[in-house]
Amino acid sequence: MRPDGVFPYGRHRPRIHSTAFVTPGTYIIGRVTIKRDASVWFGAVLRGDAQPIVIGEGSLVEDNVVVHGRVVVGRRCVIGHGVILHGCSVAAGAVIGANAVVFDGARIGAGALVAAGSVVYPKTRVPPRTVFRNSAGGNHPVLEAIGNRLRRWDGAAYRRLIRTYRKTEAAGRRQR
């Protein structure tokens, strides 16, 4: 699919790898790099106007995510629906649960899970392969199992979705 909201900012243009998948309805502005096989879904906003943003190879940025400030997302990360990433880093294989907020200077370790709805305060370090939670819901007995399952996520379901979207778009072009 062809994104409709890709804009330069000053002399900086977004760089989107040819194998990346970006849906219409996203906004990608300025110094943003989206690497090979990454996907960015409906309603996401990646604002690289102030500082650069990098979305790593094979990472998934789900619907309505907002990314701003200097942000690096490593390889094969999952950034859940409605997440806000601001001036932070997310190491390879980490999962940020839906509606979590990760603030300036925070570092999420490789394979870590930030539970849905959590707030990671500035300069917080989340160690690799740990579960971070501070949401109102507190500890959930199956959170560790969910984290283990998500860390093994291979993206197959999203790759199938992407193939279907691309086929649908190609069929639509042929009918015009």
In this prediction, residue 136 carries a pLDDT of 53
Query: What integer pLDDT is reported at residue 174 of this predicted model?
Result: 61
What is the full DSSP assignment across 44-78?
-EEEEEEEEEEE-TT-EE-TT-EEESSEEE-TT-E
Grade residue 154 by pLDDT with cuts at 50, 70 and 90.
low
Quick check: is 133 in a domain? yes
Is residue 1 a part of any domain in this protein? no
Residue 68 lies in a domain: yes
The CATH number of whichever domain residue 26 belongs to comes to 2.160.10.10
Q: Work out how many domains the chain is built from and give that number.
A: 1
Indicate whether 95 belongs to any domain: yes
Domain extent for 18: 6-175
- Say whether pLDDT at 98 is over 60: yes
Mean pLDDT, the chain, whole residue set = 89
The pLDDT tens digits for 113-144 are: 999 999 999 999 999 999 999 865 555 555 66
Q: What is the pLDDT of residues 42-72, one digit of tens each?
A: 999 999 999 999 999 999 999 999 999 999 9
Strand partners, 120: 102
How far, in Å, CA of 174 to CA of 55, rounded?
A: 32
Measured CA to CA, the distance from residue 146 to residue 110 in angstroms comes to: 16
pLDDT > 90? residue 173: no
Mean pLDDT, range 147-161, rounded to an integer? 72
3-state SS assignment for residue 102: strand
Residue 128 domain-assigned?
Answer: yes
Is 171's pLDDT higher than 80? no
% of the chain residues with pLDDT over 70: 83
Residue that is written with structure tokens 């007995």 in the block: 141
Structural domain contains residue 124: yes
Of all helices (H) and strands (E), which one includes residue 74? none
User: For position 134, what pLDDT does the model report?
Assistant: 84
Q: Around 24, how many Cα atoms within 13 Å sit in the side-chain half-sphere?
A: 6
Task: Give CA–CA dist 167/161, Å, rounded.
Answer: 10
pLDDT cut 90: percent of the chain above it: 73
Q: Give the 3-state secondary structure of residue 28.
A: strand
Strands 84-86 and 101-102: parallel
Q: What is the reported pLDDT for 126? A: 96
Residue pair 74/55 in contact by the 8 Å Cβ criterion: no
What average pLDDT does range 21-30 have in this prediction?
96
Secondary structure (3-state) at 173: helix
Residues 99 and 82: their CA atoms lie apart, in Å, by 5
